[in-house]
A and B are shown apart, each in its own frame.
Chain A
Amino acid sequence: MIKIEGVKISGISVCVPKNFVNNEDLTENKKLISSIGVKQRHIASENQHTMDLCVIAAEKLIKEMDIEKNSIDAVIFVSQTPEYQLPATACIIQDILKLKNNIVAYDVNLGCSGYTHGLLLASSLVKSGLVSVLLLAGETPSKIVDNNDSSSNLLFGDAGSATIITQKVDSNISFVLGNDGSGFESIILDNDNNKKTSNKSNFLTMNGAEVFTFTLKRIPQLIKDTLTYSKLNKDDVNYCIFHQANLLMLKTLAKSIDINFDKFLISIDKYGNTSSASIPLTICHNREKIVKNPEKILMAGFGVGLSWSTAVSDLKDTVILPITEA
């Protein structure tokens, strides 16, 4: 349990590709569509990458919040689809956004748990004295999914997000994090330089049953721990904003942790599983609901690694922008 005092999520923005596909146009398997809960997904064009979506989200956030660029002391890019293997995409984004040179800029290679992990890193930097940190979490899984793989080709969508974390007295964010690397092959994209694994595919591969079981084993206890450490009762939580893994997973988790599914905010039906972008995307997609009840928001990310993390925060006075399509 990590509680960081004096920090706040000040603004959130998300950009998705304007191109989208309807899953019903791709398969007649209605049982699959209803189980994963994905009706449509936004898919990046050939020349549109994760960095591009995150940059658009960031530019909109900076403009709408009238953020002084010199106040941004760090940029963190969380993604598994970076622009290059090297250099870090955050370094490129610093230049594209015309941010100052005396800035912290680095990438984090995480997926489903990436947003909540990223929030911890950003909050820690703010707590250490930085004025504000720009957290960019995004993914373009369409670039790494095998279109012939029925376990993943209808599930994933593309999106990029930007979140600004700043100092604020009397505001805090609580975190619980964990990891179990013994399950690393459950969701994997190998590369040519590392052939130690049994996986020899050039595409993302996922053992859905293993991931499902991991989630059922780990996440209910994670939520219980988070509520205990945050001194919250499950009835106190206004909204659960969980990584949008798939609808069956979310419904099963809701029952397992005994929280009414009405408290679970959803975006997977319109955007699919967008990996590290799924939590901010779900926030922006449900902004009108959150504005009415912005306190005690429980966020949870879990998956590739296998890793997991939660963040409990108020989103009161947080600027939540409508989703941009580009």
Chain B
Amino acid sequence: MRPPVDALPGPEAARGGASLARLQFTGSAAEYWRIWVVHLTLNVLTLGLYSPWGKLRKMRWFARHTRLLGDAFDYQADPWRLLRGRVLALLLLLGYGHLFEFSLTAGLVFYAFVLVLGPLMFASAQRFKLRASSWRGIRFDFHARTRQSYAVVLPFQALWMAPAVAVQFTEFSGWWWALGALPFLLLPWAHARFKTFQHREASFLGLRFQCDPITERVYSNYLLGLGLVLLAGIVVGVTGALLAPLFEGRAEAKGGHIVLGSMLGMLCFYLLVWPMFAARMQRVAWENTCWANVQFRCELDARSAWGLLLRHGPLLLLSLGLWWPVAAVAWARLRVEAISLSCSEDLEVMLSAARPAGLQQAAGAASADAAAEFFDLDLGW
């Protein structure tokens, strides 16, 4: 019954027994546009109740159009669980956005709640996502134990939320601002730990992914991002100062250019800083990751992310958002096809020799503490 291995679409053979395989993306923007519009309509008509089914089909569509060595990934999950996660996430989101507007105590209680439950929820969402994903009929897994999740996710969350909490206690002036900014110095460290944790706890065929420490490179990413923010700030400031005389004396001027300035700032951030930062973070994380003797490579760079934004951004605006699915497919293609795998031996030979380790069942059972299992659902977003 076994076919000859040679008959399979093999990886591009590099020198000797080594091989290199690139991820491929085969989805078409036209098909995704139809999926998107039908889902959106159903979501609106059902006031969002349809969204788990829509999300599932969307995830499956992207997974099945992502191919490695000629075979597609897959995404299979229970939509009812997705719905449960969605309701929870919605409540959290509402609380996050609005509680401080109502009362300080309620806001603080909520933050404490997020801090306590956050790591648990992150781990279970990650587990849900990886267990739903498979390649060649084999599901991925996520093994993080509760204690580990807290040790890694808690500092990241706390640092991220610190400024928002600090602002509630301090006046908007002077040294307090500097103090409020202090936690940001540690943010890259926590972010790097978080990223490596995410990769290290994942497994395929019972074998863990490995990830080298990336702290230094994450710091340099943050520094570069901060540099760009400052540069953009200077450019906007100087332009504003040069243009100010033109608006002098007009009734609309005063509030007008404050609003305009802050909008320009946001625009600069999303157009200039974010694509570079996201691309470099992905690159750093993947380039330091390996599985068995497979090393991942990632060629995503800021220039191609900016290029994508330049090409699709204007169309997105002109079409009032209807261009979104086309841009999403282009972004998926860029991200997926930037990743390649290199192996010191032939990948197919290596995979056919691989035996599923016992780790999968054993660790799965061990880490399935009751609390984590209770939240074993996807939080969406």
On whether the two chains bind one another, the answer is no
